[in-house]
Amino acid sequence: MRATAVHGRNRREDEGEDEDSGHDELTAVQAALAAEHAAVYGYGVVGGRIADDRRKEAQAAYDGHRARRDALRREVRDLGGTPRAAAAAYELPFPVPDAAAAARLAAELEDRLAAVYADLVRAGGRARRTEAAAALREAAVRAVRWRGSGVAFPGLVERAAAAAPTGAASASAGAL
Residue range 65-89: mean pLDDT, rounded: 97
> Quick one: pLDDT band at residue 165, thresholds 50, 70, 90?
very low
Q: How high is the pLDDT of residue 79?
A: 94
Residue range 12-17: mean pLDDT, rounded: 41
Say if pTM beats, i.e. exceeds, 0.75.
yes
Residue range 74-96: mean pLDDT, rounded: 96
Q: How high is the pLDDT of residue 152?
A: 57
% pLDDT > 90, the chain: 68
1 against 71, higher pLDDT? 71
Q: What is the 3-state secondary structure (H, E, C) of 64-89?
A: HHHHHHHHHHHHHHHCCCCCCCCCCC
Averaged confidence pLDDT in the chain: 82
CA distance 148 to 6: 48
> Quick one: pLDDT band at residue 121, thresholds 50, 70, 90?
very high
Is the distance from CB of 165 to CB of 175 less than 8 angstroms?
Answer: no
Half-sphere exposure of 87 (CA within 13 A, CB side): 17
In the DSSP assignment, the letter for residue 52 is G
